[in-house]
């Protein structure tokens, strides 16, 4: 009976460890996937700060540039929000698993102590 509980605890620990390792790799994939987006935001904001009005653009062209900048910035914030939410959910799940794991270890230890 104790071996079944220990085996379940080991399997659960391995699964959670694997999922947590995936969550470490996930933001790297997201940032690389949206790297172009973040590059556009950086380039456009630098151009905006360097005085795009001096280049002879019309007000309509400046509005279009600003609209593109605002949309890209909004997308970058949405990606950031999604990553933060994912990390919140994963951390809550990890805390729950660690609590369950600690509880199971104490139960198994108590059973072993009673058998001796």
Torsions phi, psi of 34, nearest 5?
-100, 15
Provide the domain count of the chain.
1
Element (H, E) at 27: helix 2-33
The pLDDT confidence band at residue 38, using thresholds 50, 70 and 90, is low
- The answer, as to whether pTM is greater than 0.75, is no
What whole-number distance in Å separates Cα of residue 100 and Cα of residue 83? 26
What is the extent of the structural domain holding 48? 2-115
The pLDDT confidence band at residue 40, using thresholds 50, 70 and 90, is low
What whole-number distance in Å separates Cα of residue 33 and Cα of residue 12? 31
Nearest to 101 by CA among 6, 3, 19: 6
Average pLDDT, the chain: 76
Output DSSP code: residue 53: G
């Amino acid at each position: 009976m104790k071996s079944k509980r220990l085996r379940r605890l080991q399997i659960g620990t391995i699964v959670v460890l694997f999922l947590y390792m995936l969550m470490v790799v996930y933001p790297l994939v997201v940032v690389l996937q949206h790297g172009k987006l973040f590059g556009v935001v950086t380039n456009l904001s630098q151009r905006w700060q360097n005085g795009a009005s001096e280049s002879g653009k019309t007000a309509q062209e400046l509005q279009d540039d600003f609209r593109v900048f605002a949309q890209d910035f909004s997308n970058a914030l949405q990606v950031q929000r999604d990553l933060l939410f994912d990390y919140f959910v994963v951390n809550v799940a990890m805390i729950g698993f660690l609590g369950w794991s600690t509880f199971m270890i104490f139960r198994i230890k108590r059973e072993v102590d009673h058998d001796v």
